[in-house]
Structure 1
Amino acid sequence: MWFLFAMVAAAAALSMTDMLVSSDDGDGEVDSEENDDAEAESSPATGSLLLDLENDRSPPVTAPTDAIAETDLNESEALIEPYDDEPVVEYLDPTAPAQGSGSGGSNPTPPEDPDAGLYDNLGERIHSSDAYPPASAPEPGVQIGTDGDDRLVGSGAGDTLIGGAGNDTLIGNGGDTVLIAESGDNHLIGGEGNDRLIGGSGNDTLEGGWGDDLLIAGGGANVLMGGAGDDTLVGAKLDDTGRDISGANFLNGGAGDDLLITGQGDMLHGGEGADVFALGDWLAGAAPATILDYNPHQDQITLHYDPERLAAPVVTVGFDASDPATARIQLDGQIVAFVVSAPDLVAEDIALVAELPTEILAAE
């Protein structure tokens, strides 16, 4: 650019020199023709240089079609123009087959034949599923603890777990399991399935969990909780003479229609459902049981006796003036159970059964 300005200046100087030379050659006067000639000689040179300056300008820069600014070279400043193009949004069809690009986590496309095998999330078949069939279900097994404090967990196939000595924890973990406690204070948890939990000589806690479970107390003071399902809880443990030798237990049926067979000194809570509270001649002369939530509209109280040892007993219901809401069930004049909040209970509400419960016989 400076080179162009220098050329313009040189041309102007040359023109002035020509004019001065013309003036010196004459008589000092400049007539109009000479001036016109001088102007005619100088103008074309100057005009051609100006034309070259205009042609020497750089061609205008063409901005890309998607540019958001363009430059005005004549004004030498940038003008920011608004961007009017709408953003392009491409919506993917979730039902369209995946392209296998390997990027992102598109929804898997279900195969046309769902039974034809396993498919990954790109719709590709996993052929290895044909070569490796599903593993077969585990077979029920037996686990036996040591003399220490053991934790035995079933395989889910309906195992038999035997704690042994020590304070053990036995967990059925699925299937119809059998959990057997021996000595020590143990914790037995059935879980799913119709489980059979048998307490030992210590103070045990038995939890049936789901299913229709059988919980049998041992010789100590135990806690039996049936949980969901129609459970059977046995608090009594009879010796060869038919006397109860168990400790004072707490029986809680939980949800479902449960059978609670009481031992001496037991506390019984049926929970939800239509429950049966089973008393027996084994309680005569022993510590009475206590029924905590008898509902005359849905629950039933039964009194069992062994006809080989005892003739048909006389059952009566009495009340104490100091506690008129608590009924006292008597067998041949001996109190065998208290029923809390049962002021309207009468002897006819109690079913007399001339046999022992099969469940209590199984516990012997």
Structure 2
Amino acid sequence: MMALGSVAIVSTTTPEEEETDESSVARTGASGDPDDLPEDEVEGGEGTSLFAQLGLINMPGLGGAEAEAAVARAAPEDDATAAAPEEDAAPEPLEYGHGVIEPGTEADDALRGTGDIDLLGGREGDDHVDGLGGGDEIRTGAGDDTVLGGDGADTAHGEGGTDWIEGGADDDALFGHDGDDWLHGGAGADELQGGLGHDMLLGGEGADALHGREGADTLDGGAGPDTLFGGWDDDMLNGVLRDPATGQDIDAPDFLNGGDGDDTIGIGTGDVVSGGEGADVLVLGDWIVEGPSELMDFDAAEDQIVIVYYDSDGGADPQLDIRPSAEDPEMTEIVVDGTVLTVLPSSEAPSPDQLVLVGESAAGELAFA
């Protein structure tokens, strides 16, 4: 068992310390040098929550202020921010019908399907499309569009603009394409593909497949055994769904693949994780109770493992152990207070100074750049 003095511990500071110290967060890298960190490593900041950024406690709901907050969090730090449509901003629907085919116009259209299979499309304006029932095919154009698939296995393409696409029930296929898009699969086994912009992809219930593709994307599978692929840029992937009563992860095991770029990955019970290329931050925590995750790769020269633990009760610091696996000597376990959080190949196992312990009381002071 190793003493905690071997690892970096992040905790809150007193008000007096905050007045004199530019950062209230301890930062150490693999060499012990505070400057030797991946570029997307934790950094002091006000009002930015680790859990909010990773979605480790709750993902926002649908509609209203929570939905607007989801879009704002997914958007890049510029003016290209998606927003929930105003309820009174949609024009009168152009078409009602029975299995309609409606291509839309160059203006801001409101298109509405039926309970059957519809083909609905917008063009240049900021369109509002509601497929209602049936397995619909929806394609919008260059504007900032709002798409509601409704019941049925729908296929929706956002094309250009900053789009808001919600699949609804059944197994949907949602594509953001250009722009900074917000995609939510809802119930069913959904496929979500972001495209070129900085997108937020929320799988919802069911076994979903999320592909961020280009852009710095945020991916959260929600409930169910999901597969998340970050893509080519600096992405955030979350495989944790915490029970608000216990704090434990209640999500099914996910497969999380960061891909290229410097990714941040929130890891839950039973998840299989590949950071891929780039300097990745792999976040474990005491929400992992029912079974360890598995790290398929870890590059000590670039990657960082962050372990979050509950510290609000004022108890003793957690006990950390890095040890060979009893089941497979070629694998190494990372253990906190007797619970195995993850296993990884022994040839890639970290040393103690490559781990950062973070108390939940300090999590609100952490941000990933």
TM-score range, shorter chain: 0.5 to 0.7
Residue 346 of structure 2 corresponds to residue 353 of structure 1: no
Match of 1:277 in 2: 282
Match of 1:316 in 2: 321
Q: Give the superposition deviation at 1:320.
A: 3.3
- SS of aligned partner of 2:195: coil
Contact kept? 1:148, 1:165, Cα under 8 Å: yes
Residue 340 of structure 2 corresponds to residue 335 of structure 1: yes
Residue 329 of structure 2 corresponds to residue 302 of structure 1: no
Contact kept? 1:235, 1:246, Cα under 8 Å: yes
Contact kept? 1:192, 1:211, Cα under 8 Å: yes
For the structure 1 residues 249 and 143, does the alpha-carbon distance in structure 2 shift closer, same or farther, using more than 3 Å as the test? same
The two structures have a TM-score, normalised by structure 1, of 0.58
**Where do 5+ consecutive residues of structure 1 fail to align?**
1-134, 359-364
Q: Distance in 1 between matches of 2:310 and 2:216?
A: 27
Q: Distance in 2 between matches of 1:158 and 1:286?
A: 39
Look up the equivalent residue of 2:272 and give its one-letter code. M
Aligned length: 225
- SS of aligned partner of 1:348: helix
Counterpart among 215, 220, 234 of residue 219 in structure 2: 215
Counterpart among 293, 296, 300 of residue 297 in structure 2: 293
Contact kept? 1:325, 1:343, Cα under 8 Å: no
Q: Give the superposition deviation at 1:322.
A: 6.1
Contact kept? 1:148, 1:166, Cα under 8 Å: yes
Structure 1 residues 1-364: aligned runs within 5 Å: 138-240=142-244, 241-283=246-288, 285-308=289-312, 311=315, 312-320=317-325, 323-342=328-347, 345-355=350-360
Contact kept? 2:191, 2:210, Cα under 8 Å: yes
- SS of aligned partner of 1:279: strand
Q: Give the superposition deviation at 1:333.
A: 1.2
Q: Distance in 2 between matches of 1:295 and 1:357?
A: 24
Contact kept? 2:300, 2:348, Cα under 8 Å: no
The two structures have a TM-score, normalised by structure 2, of 0.57
For the structure 1 residues 179 and 343, does the alpha-carbon distance in structure 2 shift closer, same or farther, using more than 3 Å as the test? closer
Look up the equivalent residue of 1:346 and give its one-letter code. S
Q: Distance in 2 between matches of 1:243 and 1:221?
A: 16
**Where do 5+ consecutive residues of structure 2 fail to align?**
1-123, 127-141, 365-369
Higher mean alpha-carbon deviation, 337-346 vs 295-304, is at 337-346
Contact kept? 1:294, 1:342, Cα under 8 Å: no
Summarize deviations over 1:224-277 as a string: whole Å, max 9, x none: 000010001000111212111111100000000111110110000011111111
Q: Distance in 1 between matches of 2:188 and 2:302?
A: 38
Look up the equivalent residue of 1:280 and give its one-letter code. G
**Aligned Cα root-mean-square deviation (Å):** 2.3
Contact kept? 1:180, 1:197, Cα under 8 Å: yes
- SS of aligned partner of 2:287: helix
Higher radius of gyration, 1 or 2: 1
Summarize deviations over 1:168-203 as a string: whole Å, max 9, x none: 000001100000011110000000010000011100
For the structure 1 residues 205 and 326, does the alpha-carbon distance in structure 2 shift closer, same or farther, using more than 3 Å as the test? same
Contact kept? 1:264, 1:288, Cα under 8 Å: yes
Q: Distance in 2 between matches of 1:344 and 1:205?
A: 29
Summarize deviations over 1:30-88 as a string: whole Å, max 9, x none: xxxxxxxxxxxxxxxxxxxxxxxxxxxxxxxxxxxxxxxxxxxxxxxxxxxxxxxxxxx
Look up the equivalent residue of 2:200 and give its one-letter code. R
Contact kept? 2:298, 2:348, Cα under 8 Å: no
- SS of aligned partner of 2:207: coil
Q: Give the superposition deviation at 1:158.
A: 1.2
- SS of aligned partner of 2:179: coil
Identity %: 38
Look up the equivalent residue of 1:165 and give its one-letter code. A
**Which is bigger in relative contact order (C-alpha 8 A, separation at least 6)?**
2
More helix by proportion, 1 or 2?
Answer: 1
Q: Give the superposition deviation at 1:164.
A: 0.3
For the structure 1 residues 287 and 322, does the alpha-carbon distance in structure 2 shift closer, same or farther, using more than 3 Å as the test? closer
